[in-house]
Structure 1
Amino acid sequence: MTDLPTLGAALNLNTFETHRNLMLEKPRDLELQDFVDASVLKGDWASVVERARKVLDGHKGRVGIHGPFWGFTIDTMDPDVREIVKQRLAQGLNVCEALGATHMVVHSPFTTWDHNNLDNSDNGRDQLIELCHLTMSDAVKRAEDIGCELVIENIEDIDPHARIKLADSFGSHAVAVSIDTGHAHYAHGSNGAPPVDYFVKAASNRLRHIHLQDADGHADRHWSLGQGNILWHSVFAALGKLNSEPRLIIELRDHADVPASIKYLADLGLAQ
């Protein structure tokens, strides 16, 4: 990225309307959070999409959604649970197709327990990947068909390379890598993972999406940028070496802090 990158945000439709002028002043990428709950995906999601089309009129950035994740993992071993997970992913992609969304966030299956135990058996890593394929293969094909990327976001991940190997295993342009800066910083501060910029370097041009949030290395804070102790200069130096044009999505607990977060990085000369 040669010019200052443009920041986007993760919002729901109500908070997009609050920040409408900010989100329309530049082609800011948007991630809608209205579709994470099963109650929406099982219900009248079409009316939410219809509202989104009206609310987002005039928006020029890329649009995606945070996919469902509550209550399951994509490497579940229970075949009955797997069918539910496949259904949720399909429902999320129904939304993406109707909305014209170009990405859907999927949570990584790698846990802190995995980091110490996957190599405790001869095929632990291969089995995890196989289970993810059993869950996600239909979704990957569907994502290919509708022009949507499934971006796998680090959650508890300690090894930044394992998730990249998982994404690559699908052999599909529709599966890419996501980084959540606060999750990476938590894993660094509490569980011995490398720092956030190393996660970026490991992903390299497989990185197509990033959640920007600040944290203290102890917990998943989703603080406004500048309130924690992530080393943002190192993160954006690593991002600046990429040509994959990842969506830079500010994802905060308090959506009211999005303008302050954009201003913080702009004042540092890192983004706009």
Structure 2
Amino acid sequence: MHQIVVGAALALDGIRQHRDWLFEAQRDIELQDFFTAEVLNGDWRPHAAEIRAALDGHGGRLGIHGPFWGFSTASRDPDIRALVARRMEQGLDVCAALGATQMVIHSPYTTWDHRNMDMPPQPYRGMITHFAHDTLGAAVRRAEAEGVTLVMENIEDMIPADRRALVDSFGSDAIRLSVDTGHAHFAHVTHGAPAVDYFIADAGAQLHHVHLQDVDGYADRHWSVGQGTICWDAVFRAIAACGPQVRAVLELRDKALIPASMRFITERGLAR
């Protein structure tokens, strides 16, 4: 199995703070400056130019976290679906401006869905797939044309195979899977979902992105790796087995704890 090189999810100030660490191993970066409506509806291009300047000489892979606040990617409301489709287009505009090749989007599945997915007379599972295609179809087609991969992150997901089947249903290499370790562990501890490494193993070759963050299972902590109760040996083994296409990035609430996370990871020989 290949050796994992850990990257980070950061805004511009975090890139400046951790520049030496990012550049010395050409680590993957996920930009987190462009997901709010206020930014996307405004003039974000000067900020993008600042980021391009800060990344001059960086040879790692670049992605962004796409918009997600306040909506579902499979809303029942057609007006909301149209708005979300526009937000996806705005995110892809950012990718085009920055040369980013990956955009994180959110899964539509909720814990309510898990209990009601196959409720008669009309299974809700098919409705989610239909609404997701209506919402994301144009973005997937544009991503195909522009060399961007949308990666769908688990949020409240209980059954990883459901999200995998939804991604598969698009029949496109431009939409793949993301696993957030903290979200998966929260679902495992609080609701009885599979363990984090099971989420990752289920994704297999479809896995293209991982958010690395630690939690205790009570809330979405985004703690430094090693501060919570996730079994990291199993997680990193599962990531390595999925292949070198996976971008594994630290997504910590306190960016100053990136060195502490890396000490935990490297001392155990899990990644570099």
- TM > 0.5 fold call: yes
1:195 is matched with which residue?
195
Distance across 1 between alignment mates of 2:46 and 2:133 = 32
Residue 217 of structure 1 and its aligned partner are, at CA, apart by 1.2
Match runs of 1:171-182 below 5 Å: 171-182=171-182
- Matched to 2:28, the amino acid is D
What are the residue-to-residue correspondences of 1:150-189 with 2, within 5 Å? 150-189=150-189
Distance in 2 between residues matched to 1:80 and 1:6, nearest whole Å = 41
Between the aligned partners of 1:172 and 1:263, the Cα distance in structure 2 is 38
- Deviation at residue 69 of structure 1 after TM alignment: 0.3
Question: In 2, distance between residues paired with 1:19 and 1:260?
Answer: 13
Query: Percent same amino acid at aligned positions?
Result: 52
Unpaired stretches in structure 2, ≥5 consecutive residues: none
1:226 is matched with: 226
The answer as to 2:57 corresponding to 1:58 is yes
CA distance in 1 between counterparts of 2:39 and 2:132 reads 24
**Corresponding position of 1:35:** 34
Residue number in structure 2 paired with 1:271: 271
2:81 — aligned with what? 82
Contact 1:22 1:259 in 2 (8 A): no
What corresponds to 1:97 in structure 2?
Answer: 96
Deviates more, 1:180-189 or 1:78-87: 78-87
- One-letter code aligned to 2:270: L
AA matched with 1:79: P
**Which 10-residue stretch deviates more, 174-183 or 58-67?**
58-67
1:123 Cα deviation from its structure 2 partner:
2.7
| Residue 85 (structure 2) pairs with residue 71 (structure 1) | no
Indicate whether 1:248 and 2:257 are aligned. no
CA–CA distance in 2 between the matches of 1:189 and 1:30?
29
| TM-score when normalising by structure 1 | 0.98
> Number of matched residues?
271
Q: Distance in 1 between matches of 2:135 and 2:244?
A: 27
Q: Which residue of 2 aligns with 1:213?
A: 213
SS in 2 for 1:161: helix
Conserved 8 A contact 2:209-2:247: yes
Partner Cα distance (1:16, 1:53) in 2: 11
Q: After the TM superposition, which of the residue ranges 82-91 and 172-181 deviates more from structure 2?
A: 82-91
Q: Does 1:6 align with 2:36?
A: no
Partner of 1:137, secondary structure, is: helix
Q: CA RMSD in A?
A: 0.9
5+ residue gaps, structure 1: none
- Tell me which amino acid in the other structure corresponds to 1:178: S
**Hey, what does 2:45 align to over in structure 1?**
46
- Residue in 2 that maps onto 1:238: 238
**Shift of residue 81, structure 1, vs aligned partner:** 1.3
In structure 2, what is the equivalent of residue 119 of structure 1?
A: 118
Residue by residue, what CA displacement relative to the aligned partner does 1:133-175 show, whole Å, maximum 9, x if unpaired? 0000100011111100000000000101100001000000000
TM, length-normalised to structure 2 = 0.98
Deviations 1:192-229 (CA, angstroms, capped at 9, x unpaired): 10100000111011000000000011211100001001
